[in-house]
Amino acid sequence: MDGQTTIEEQYDYLLAVLQADQLIEFRELFFNLHIYEQGQFYLSLNEEERQRVYTYLSPKEMADMFDVIEEDEEDVEEYLKEMKPSYVADMLAEMYTDNAVDTLNQLDKTTMAKYLSLMDTESASEIKELLHYEDETAGSIMTTEYVSIVANQTVRSAMYLLKNEATVAETIYYVFVVDRENILVGVISLRDLIVNDDDRMISDIMSERVMSVKVGDDQEDVAKMIRDYDFLAVPVTDYEGHLLGIVTVDDIIDVIDEEAASDYSGLAGVDVEESSENPFKAASKRLPWLITLLFLGMSTATLIGRYEELVSEASILAVFISLITGTAGNAGTQSLAVAVRRLAVQDDKDSGFFRLIISEVLTGLITGAVTGLAIFIVVGIWKQNFPLGFVIGIAMLFAITVANLAGSLIPMLMDKLGFDPAVASGPFITTLSDLTSVLIYFNIASLFMSYFI
């Protein structure tokens, strides 16, 4: 086809070739696409069309494509159900081990066991080894397809080994050096191997200062290391220093996406990746948070009820309840977002705690003072009642300061207790701010009651 055609036009033509059962032309056009585009074309097909693809492509060719397909677990499970079990087993065996593990983890135990039983012993053993690691740890995202060499060999022998293993390794830009007991002792780059003389010993040119992670380390900590040091891969060892695998940057990008989605879900109090779910399933996930927040909201309503006599004496106070609670809630949510982000990027989470508290209090006082002054002037002119404006302004000042402090302290407290700080969600902070701001508002109003009525 003309090189100027769009990818959509290429997909349309490829689909027509597929539907016409033109096997040779289909394979030629299909493999001219980038591997990512192959995956996108596959995902655009219906089941009948995908069935034809399974007959046109070998398990190895499907494995290459599935290595780059990122879909939710329901779709992956459905795709596998369309294939013959032996075809799936062969495909999983050909995938990179970490990707095969990710795919199998999305299936029930019975289905997983079926596919593992159909694989060759070596592939099944490698996959089973990774399946045992706890979810969201370095062990669960590492791959065992890497190249390692020993220190007491020459560059020539190392390059020979590298050439033989390059086709099955996820990356060859870093080559990790181990001793005879498979303990990690160094690292050497592909560039160093190329530029050095063939007869030089690896021990003479390797870097002994090699950064590594433990197999049980949290995946988020691994992501921070790769981000901070600009690594393409980082080695994973057991607690005795034996090299077990590597985590590559492409897996870390997936981790970053997962962590970001988790944080957004927590801040919103809802699963942000539910867009493909049916309305009933989506509603079932949202309702627990909404019901919990409903009861918290009722406590705010109950508190307002306690000040019913005050409101009856000065009904004008009711006009500004939503203004104060809404502004305080917005301030608390802003502070929460900054706090969660700070915890995500800060390596030493214990440093400067009191300095941080003072900073948040001052930030709250400044934003509260400016907002309070603005509402003081507006209410004073609008209602021609500057004492009332003063009450609203002072209440706004303290409500924003408290909300700002709560938005920072609650995530930090949850982090100290070992919980994900993102679950201190925006709706929760907003509801809590409603409660505190109502309490502040009516107590200040009761103190200055005689001045504005």
CATH number at residue 285: 1.10.357.20
Residue 198 belongs to some domain of the structure? yes
Regarding whether 402 and 315 lie in a shared domain, the answer is: yes
Regarding whether 92 and 13 lie in a shared domain, the answer is: yes
Q: What residues are paired with 49 via a beta bridge?
A: none
Last residue of a domain, one of 102, 136, 170: 136
Are the C-beta atoms of 58 and 29 separated by less than 8 Å?
no
pLDDT by residue, tens only, the chain of 453 residues: 555 678 899 999 999 999 999 999 999 999 999 999 999 999 999 999 999 999 999 999 999 999 888 654 457 888 999 999 999 999 999 998 888 998 998 888 999 999 999 999 999 998 998 888 888 899 989 999 899 999 999 999 999 999 999 888 888 899 999 999 999 999 999 999 999 999 999 999 999 999 999 999 998 889 889 988 989 999 999 999 999 999 998 888 877 776 665 555 555 555 555 545 567 766 776 677 677 767 777 877 788 888 888 888 888 888 898 899 989 988 888 887 777 777 766 554 455 667 777 888 899 899 999 999 999 999 999 989 999 999 999 999 999 999 988 888 887 777 777 666 655 566 777 788 888 999 999 999 988 888 776
Are the C-beta atoms of 86 and 59 separated by less than 8 Å?
no
Regarding whether 152 and 129 lie in a shared domain, the answer is: no
Residue 272 belongs to some domain of the structure? no
Phi (first) and psi of residue 272, to 5 degrees: -75, -10
Regarding whether 71 and 191 lie in a shared domain, the answer is: no
∠ at Cα 315 (400, 389), nearest 5°? 45
Residue 411 belongs to some domain of the structure? yes
**CATH code of residue 220:** 3.10.580.10
- Domains: count for the chain: 3
∠ at Cα 413 (412, 415), nearest 5°? 65
Regarding whether 321 and 224 lie in a shared domain, the answer is: no
Regarding whether 187 and 49 lie in a shared domain, the answer is: no
Which two three-digit tokens encode residue 325?
Answer: 């609670």
Regarding whether 156 and 123 lie in a shared domain, the answer is: no
* DSSP element (H, E) containing 214: strand 213-214
Residue 273 belongs to some domain of the structure? no
Residue-number span of the structural domain to which 66 is assigned: 7-136
Q: CB 198: neighbour CB atoms within 10 A?
A: 12
